[in-house]
Chain A
């Protein structure tokens, strides 16, 4: 395949040409309540060509019929020539890469029967349903894939990557009369069959929580000191800061560049954050991004100061910085854009734990688990799965509907304590940007304390 793509690139009349071809084998099983929804195996395949000419813009073609490859290479060139530019697009230099990179399949999902996958999911789904009669509905899904990705460009890069992925997730719906609550559990890794075994307990606990929340009060709206658990702290850094560090937001906008000047202080000296696509086995892990740049650990905030950002080759060239291996596409249907991989808040002092963060709080909220998050850059939300009040330095009652309203310039700077208990999230889900969703990413963090944050609700 590499040779076939290299030959097609050679035929291209464009100054720069890249071709990405993907073949994805996947299987999925889904339960809704006690009923199996589907158990199926799918194959998806297609290609993507991007061409660039000096003085012109990008020409892009994506297609499912590989026989069309030579035609699509020509179309991409023609489309590029239709986009006249006064200021040319430049790509930052990267050393050509030639490699076959197969990630650890950790139990190749292609060798496991659909029936075994159904049995595994039935166990997890059953564990949720067995918790209580108040669990009226569940949605459980198992999905795996092994994606083969070939990438060749006209600068000599020729890569083959084997990318596995497995996600098991379950939602438990608890209901009593008019009150409905949900619990959400998911496990997602860039690994295989072995990594999703023996999680019954987690699904059971999740369903029990949905039942417990039926009797829990809603949190009162207002500003509180808030402790984020590891999972939500991870989602927080992704939404609060990760998206702002994606250079495609600033590279064409002088005011944004000024706002995000390297060296600017965003947090107290306790805060260190970064993005690491090279960390092994996580959901956002990749050897090379979708422009053929090797991934790396990129520091973003060091001791509260902005020190880096995430780049594609185009944004790096424009800002005079180095590509970081963050140009990613969700599939052959899309061009690569600047995305996160595995984004983290680095641990604080070893030995500092949750108890140390709450001992001096008279009233606060412990926000746990993540239903999701979304950013509008300066302002963002992150939605906890559940929470507890903290009263007089102790964990108190369970509360629900804990949604935090964040502000980039206020919330980050109000992080005043960071525990030493770092963990990587292992959730499924994914990130959405520019119509590309869900991109596999994850986050990692220890427990984090925010001196004051706004929580929505009745006031």
Chain B
């Protein structure tokens, strides 16, 4: 498909690149502890970008038998309105790509019954009186092919599996919802499932007692899940796009110490076993790791081809594209970790709430979930959210769950001095981090 499309493009435009992808998903869903539905989904599509008359245009389709002529015509029409850009498509041979396993036979070969058994086992371990358990298991097999008119080609086959569980406990007018998941390229092992169950159990048990929230500027431990509000501004600010546009607070700060010296942030598409890992990005740039923050100083920003061309720098291989629209910048696997840690970070127990950071807290919170993350003025670093799931810490111990409290702060100020890195580093989707202890977080209560 790619060859035919690029051949047609070559006759009509200056340059072109394209992505073809085919995805096959199998999913089972347990609702209130019962297997309720099984489904499959098959999707294929292609995305084409052209440079015609120096201008860029895109076209995409999910048609089963795409007509290359029609697609090129549509991309050219898009280019007629497009901006001019000097895009250099990389020329790279498939043999030069870094080796990274993306396909796991066990995942691909798991039968529907295997997936049902996996989900059922999890339901049984999570069920308890007064609680409703929902579990979903989704397996994906995807074939990706990318190519461009400079002769680069890349192809890979990937697997992914996501096992998600949520437990809802309603007692009178108290609603408690606890969620966790496993995401990987390979099937979860017993230890992974055990970790998932223990993570939910630990947080559920500690939540059964409801206590009054504190208020004031307090020490707060953000768990890997609770950390989303704090790291989201950084993820936006480290994108070459916001830097180019002048809206990133980190623009012009490369090499400057902006964060606690122990903090390093890395994007690594070559991490074994992760579904976001791949040998080549969606614009034919070979994968490699990018140091975004190195020992507290701003390292590199992430770029796709177009943003890099406009910023007069190189793509970091962070081009991502769907079937529609043009490629954009996306992270792959992003690590927030202590600088001293090895490339995968420490990997200790996830069943200790607070990651070993609460011992010295006289009065504060452990925040595991905030409501409305991503909906404020994110890029500024300022956040303010009601707690979804949070615990009070008094004299070094968790005393119960707090409700009707809101936490606020500025990510840039809070990350200048990190009170501690937890021993509970883990994956959450495509982000790896431990818990972080941050000081002086504003806590308001009703």
Contact = CB atoms under 8 A, between A and B. Distances in A.
Given A60-B39, A175-B247, A456 B407 contact: yes
B371 to A, nearest CB: 4
B442 interface: yes
A445 to B, nearest CB: 19
A424 interface: no
A375 B371 contact: yes
Contacts of B403: 378-379, 407
Interface in A37-65: 37-46, 57-65
Nearest to B378: A182
Contacts of A405: 371, 386, 404-406, 446
Nearest to A183: B377
B38 A58 contact: yes
Where chain B touches its partner, the secondary structure class is: strand
A358 B215 CA distance: 28
Contacts of B408: 221, 401, 403, 456-458
Contact of A218 (B169, B382, B443): B382
B246 interface: yes
B215 to A, nearest CB: 5
B81 interface: yes
B375 A373 contact: yes
A406 B405 CA distance: 10
B420 interface: no
B273 interface: no
Contact of B35 (A46, A84, A181, A374): A84
B157 interface: no
Contacts of A115: 81
Interface of A: 26, 28-29, 32-33, 35-46, 57-68, 75, 79-80, 82-87, 89, 114-115, 118, 136-137, 173, 175, 178-182, 218, 221-223, 252-253, 255-256, 259, 333, 335, 371-383, 400-401, 403-410, 452, 454-459
B64 A459 contact: no
Given A179-B380, A181-B377, A64 B444 contact: no
A378 B32 CA distance: 19
Contact of B384 (A179, A180, A333, A457): A457
Residue among B245, B382, B385, B444 with most chain A CB within 10 A: B444
B38 A454 contact: no
A256 B176 CA distance: 11
Contacts of A26: 324
A412 to B, nearest CB: 12
7 contacts: A60-B40, A82-B113, A114-B77, A137-B247, A218-B382, A374-B373, A456-B385
A331 B190 CA distance: 36
Interface in B390-446: 403-408, 442-446
Interface stretch (B52-60, B95-103, B191-199): B52-60
Interface string B216-236: 110000000000000000000
Interface residues of B, number: 85
A67 B63 CA distance: 11
B444 A221 contact: yes
A40 B324 contact: yes
A383 B376 contact: yes
Given A68-B42, A403-B406, 5 more contacts: A38-B78, A58-B37, A221-B442, A381-B386, A403-B408
B372 A381 contact: yes
A137 B248 CA distance: 10
B380 A64 contact: no
Contacts of B10: none
Residue among B34, B38, B172 with most chain A CB within 10 A: B38
Nearest to B177: A376
Nearest to A373: B372
Contacts of A409: 173
Nearest to A383: B375
B261 interface: no
B246 A136 contact: yes
Contacts of B83: 35-36
Contact of A79 (B32, B40, B42, B60): B40
A63 B42 contact: yes
B84 to A, nearest CB: 10
Contact of A59 (B39, B217, B404): B39
A164 to B, nearest CB: 18
Contact of A401 (B59, B174, B177, B377): B377
Contacts of B39: 58-62, 79, 335
B82 interface: yes
